[in-house]
Amino acid sequence: MARLLKDGTLFAIWKTFFEGHCKSKIETIALEYPENRSLIVDYWDIDKADPKLTETLINHSYKALFNAEEALKSIDIAVDKEIALHFRVVNLPDIHKIPIRKIRAYHMGKYTAIEGLVTRATEVRNKLQVAAFQCSKCGAPIKIEQEEDILKEPSECYEDQGGCGRISSFKLLMNLSTFIDSQKIEIQENLEGLRGGAQPERISAYLEDDLVGMLLPGDRVIVNGILHSQQRRKGLHRLTSFNKVMDAYSTERQELAFEEVEVTPEDEEEILKISKDPEIYNKMKQSIAPTIYGMDWVKEGLVLQMFGGVKKQTPDGTHLRPDIHVLLVGDPGTAKSQLLDRISRISPRSISASGRGASAAGLTAAAVRDEFGEGKWTLEAGALVLADMGIACIDEFDKVEPKDRGSIHKAMEQQSIDINKAGINVTLNTRCAVLAAANPKLGRFDEFIPIHEQINMSPALLSRFDLIFPILDKPDKTTDRRISKHILSVHRGSETDVNISKCKNTTYSKEQRDDLMINAVPVFEPEFLRKYVTYARRNIFPVMTDEASGMIEDYYVRNRSIDEDAIPFTARQLEGFVRLAEANARVRLSNEITVEDAKKAISIVKEYLTRVGMDRETGKFDIDIIETGMSHTQQQRMKTILDIIATLCESSESGAAIEDIIPEAEIKGIDSGKTEDAIKHLEQNKQIFKVPKGGYKINV
Ligand code: ADP
Ligand code: MG
């Protein structure tokens, strides 16, 4: 192989290039060798020096790279110090950046860039690079370069390596062989270019030597390398079908969030102009899902979620979550799934997934051993990791596997997860906002039952959400008429549109269509919205004014002191207010958080708390309902009943009888129905138990 690739002319041109353009770079690397052993060169620097070089690099990639690396070995300093550098070309022009789904046979063997999201990465393993064998007849050591996965043995004892020339059997000599680190990763194409529900395609890439261990699932990357076909195997059998894979020569990590979305100076001008519109909030709300009627508060929350709060770090290094987590819980057929779908199409870097968990990684990540790893362990990422710096839209959140729940807590609050298994010890980032939808356990939502009893989710998990919107489907003549009018006109408008474009003798006009669609057309197209959000998240970092801060503070203190026993808000809600106020300022591209922003944050939290966090008996907010699943009043009541049972047990061997508990509780102002409820709860919580044919006793 190597001999076939040698080309004296090419070798000489590369040598001239390196000596003329990379000398100082190589000198620096030589000082750090072998820790640093790669020469990284920009495509355009080569092209500027000699376009013939880039031309061969793209079209005769193996030859170009082989001769380049040979030339690198031959320049003075390399000869002096006996160093062999890798040659890594980065920053390929867009025409050589091929979308994964467009890779075809004619791209094989060419130096190409692929761009996407790392979904899986195997552990780093040693791989034989040059295998040394010993001839069993003459004992000569014979070296064979290993280019494939399957070990290649000498076919005879080569005379040119000092062997006897006979057909022989060989023994592998480990201490004379050389090894190289290798790793396999999987890259999934970016969804940004893929609107319209198509499934993303994936490709595997092999990384070697100093490229390994640099990338983690969830990273956005450009991988440059040579595409080739790889024969598929089933056990020891070779199949006739081939996979497309890439041998990576360089990788470029995209650090910036939302880098995939390009905002041109013209876009910026338009964005700045629109940000001054006093109707900006309504227009944003209207644009996220115009075909869905109503749900004003929900849409408001979703707009704020897209913009997100400000990422910050306290002086002691604590990372404060900027992302706003939103949960939609509600009756079936209330457009929850539809809303998730819209957001995942509009918002940059979003990933949609179902709580049912199709992959082994679930929603977070897992180490698995499967076909992909070819015997190695693979780290596989789920939605929360893949949506890093974006939004994870998770439908059927209530169906999440119990084993996944613990890691979801941490992923949502600390925004990272640790995987320690089978030699893989990593921390993966989950810096995403979660937009989740859940259905009530009993089919329909009941406003009068604590929310955690209605959905299969622990109060601890529920309390990670900044906003929880119950979506009820209650028959109501006026709203029903409005919704149906809206849905029907959307359908009629679309029918008219199809008729106009498909029927030769159409009798419908574009005006008729537009009249019907008037409410269903977004003010801002999804693409513009994406650019606007990207611009705001990249450039706007608002700071709270004294007045805004004072307002939130007062509101918090006032509501906590209304009833000293019930705790309406915790510090968690306080942080939620801050995030929402920050997002609200970002919508109009303001670097200042005003009283209006604070008011908006308060009103949206108030709106959801009245629906899910209100203590139905006292009419006050009580965050305990969300955090523990029970209101403060309920908790107090259970404590009283527990005391009564304890007292009764002191004078009775067979436990406290219900007939005795009820009158005692009535004296303390608790009616019999509530007493029975409390007993039921205490029994469920295993705080008390019933003695057969007797009363209740306390569990100790
Ligand atoms: P869910 O996930 O809440 O069970 P879906 O998102 O599947 O419900 O919605 C069911 C259908 O009802 C969708 O086609 C949706 O467009 C329609 N729909 C429900 N509510 C509305 C609404 N308020 N406005 C417009 N369409 C609606
Ligand atoms: Mg649904």
Task: State whether the beta carbon of 354 lies less than 6 angstroms from ligand 1.
Answer: no
Rounded distance, CA 418 to CA 40, Å? 32
Task: State whether the beta carbon of 332 lies less than 6 angstroms from ligand 1.
Answer: yes
pLDDT at 567: 47
Rounded distance, CA 445 to CA 449, Å? 9
pLDDT at 170: 86
Mean pLDDT of 143-157: 80
pLDDT at 8: 84
pLDDT at 450: 66
130 has a pLDDT exceeding 70:
yes
Considering every ligand atom shown, identify the ligand nearest to the alpha carbon of residue 519 and give its number.
1
Topology adopted by domain 277-354+382-471: Rossmann fold (3.40.50)
Q: Is 563 or 281 the better-scoring residue by pLDDT? A: 281
Topology adopted by domain 526-609: Helicase, Ruva Protein; domain 3 (1.10.8)
Domain ranges of the chain: 2-91, 100-253, 277-354+382-471, 477-517, 526-609, 632-698
CA of 166 to the centre of ligand 2 (A): 71
Closest by Cα among 360, 418, 431, 357 to 390: 431
Q: Is 439 or 357 the better-scoring residue by pLDDT? A: 439
195 has a pLDDT exceeding 60:
no
pLDDT at 326: 94
Is 632-698 the same fold as 2-91?
no
Task: State whether the beta carbon of 299 lies less than 6 angstroms from ligand 1.
Answer: no
Task: State whether the beta carbon of 335 lies less than 6 angstroms from ligand 1.
Answer: yes
Considering every ligand atom shown, identify the ligand nearest to the alpha carbon of residue 335 and give its number.
1
593 has a pLDDT exceeding 90:
yes
Query: What tens digit of pLDDT does each residue of 317-335 get?
Result: 788 889 999 999 888 888 9
Can you state the percent helix, strand and coil of the chain, rounding each to 5?
Answer: 45, 25, 35
pLDDT at 376: 78
Closest by Cα among 537, 533, 548 to 597: 548
pLDDT at 266: 93
Considering every ligand atom shown, identify the ligand nearest to the alpha carbon of residue 289 and give its number.
1
pLDDT at 42: 92
Helices (H), 167-259: none
636 φ, ψ to 5°?
-60, -45
Q: Are 427 and 385 in contact (CB under 8 A)?
A: no
What share of the chain has pLDDT > 90, as a percent? 21
CA dihedral 212, 133, 236, 372 (to 10 degrees): -10
Q: Is 394 helix (H, G, I), strand (E, B) or coil?
A: strand
Q: Which two tokens stand for residue 614?
A: 């209100």
Which protein residues have a CB closer than 5 Å to ligand 2 (ion)?
337
CA of 336 to the centre of ligand 2 (A): 6
pLDDT at 557: 82
Mean pLDDT of 469-473: 81
Chain mean position to CA 677: 42
Task: State whether the beta carbon of 62 lies less than 6 angstroms from ligand 1.
Answer: no
- Closest C-alpha to ligand 1, atom 23: 293
Question: Which of the four pLDDT bands, split at 50, 70 and 90, describes residue 162?
Answer: confident
Task: State whether the beta carbon of 694 lies less than 6 angstroms from ligand 1.
Answer: no
Question: Which of the four pLDDT bands, split at 50, 70 and 90, describes residue 547?
Answer: very high
pLDDT at 2: 55
Angle at 596 between CA 592 and CA 599, to 5 degrees: 125
CATH 3.40.190.10 fits 2-91, yes or no: no
Mean pLDDT of 640-650: 88
- Closest C-alpha to ligand 1, atom 10: 333
Q: What is the mean pLDDT of the chain?
A: 83
Task: State whether the beta carbon of 487 lies less than 6 angstroms from ligand 1.
Answer: yes
Rounded distance, CA 123 to CA 368, Å? 10
Task: State whether the beta carbon of 334 lies less than 6 angstroms from ligand 1.
Answer: yes
pLDDT at 193: 54
pLDDT at 558: 79
Q: Are 464 and 412 in contact (CB under 8 A)?
A: yes
351 has a pLDDT exceeding 80:
yes
Closest atom of ligand 1 to CA, residue 487: 25
What share of the chain has pLDDT > 70, as a percent? 89
Considering every ligand atom shown, identify the ligand nearest to the alpha carbon of residue 338 and give its number.
1
CA of 447 to the centre of ligand 2 (A): 20
Topology adopted by domain 100-253: OB fold (Dihydrolipoamide Acetyltransferase, E2P) (2.40.50)
pLDDT at 473: 75
Considering every ligand atom shown, identify the ligand nearest to the alpha carbon of residue 396 and give its number.
2
Pocket test for ligand 1, best of 399, 487, 519 (most atoms within 8 A of CB): 487
404 φ, ψ to 5°?
-85, -20
Closest atom of ligand 1 to CA, residue 339: 6
Considering every ligand atom shown, identify the ligand nearest to the alpha carbon of residue 332 and give its number.
1
Class of domain 632-698: mainly alpha
Mean pLDDT of 53-60: 90
Closest atom of ligand 1 to CA, residue 341: 6
Mean pLDDT of 530-534: 91
- Closest C-alpha to ligand 1, atom 14: 335
591 has a pLDDT exceeding 90:
yes
Query: What tens digit of pLDDT does each residue of 97-106 get?
Result: 888 888 888 8
Q: Is 434 or 694 the better-scoring residue by pLDDT? A: 434
pLDDT at 623: 62
Rounded distance, CA 122 to CA 686, Å? 45
pLDDT at 540: 93
Highest average pLDDT, of 190-199, 476-485, 528-537, comes from: 528-537
CA of 345 to the centre of ligand 1 (A): 17
- Tokens 């063997």, residue located: 109
642: phi > 0 → left, psi -120 to 50 → alpha, else beta; which?
Answer: alpha
Task: State whether the beta carbon of 108 lies less than 6 angstroms from ligand 1.
Answer: no
235: phi > 0 → left, psi -120 to 50 → alpha, else beta; which?
Answer: left
Handedness of CA 148, 150, 155, 159 (dihedral sign): positive
Mean pLDDT of 559-563: 61
Mean pLDDT of 611-636: 63
Q: Are strands 170-188 and 125-135 parallel, antiparallel or unpaired?
A: antiparallel
CA of 291 to the centre of ligand 1 (A): 10
Q: Is 581 or 477 the better-scoring residue by pLDDT? A: 581
CA of 336 to the centre of ligand 1 (A): 7
Closest atom of ligand 1 to CA, residue 335: 6
Q: Is 243 or 90 the better-scoring residue by pLDDT? A: 90
pLDDT at 527: 87
Question: Which of the four pLDDT bands, split at 50, 70 and 90, describes residue 434?
Answer: very high
pLDDT at 194: 55
Pocket test for ligand 1, best of 331, 338, 473 (most atoms within 8 A of CB): 338
pLDDT at 548: 92
Task: State whether the beta carbon of 691 lies less than 6 angstroms from ligand 1.
Answer: no
Task: State whether the beta carbon of 338 lies less than 6 angstroms from ligand 1.
Answer: yes
pLDDT at 699: 80
Lowest mean pLDDT among 334-343, 440-449, 482-491: 440-449
Task: State whether the beta carbon of 164 lies less than 6 angstroms from ligand 1.
Answer: no
Lowest mean pLDDT among 58-62, 268-272, 474-478, 673-677: 474-478
CA of 332 to the centre of ligand 2 (A): 7
DSSP letters spanning 139-189: --EEEEE--SSSPPPPSS--GGGT---S---EEEEEEEEEEEEEEEEEEE-
Mean pLDDT of 606-617: 65
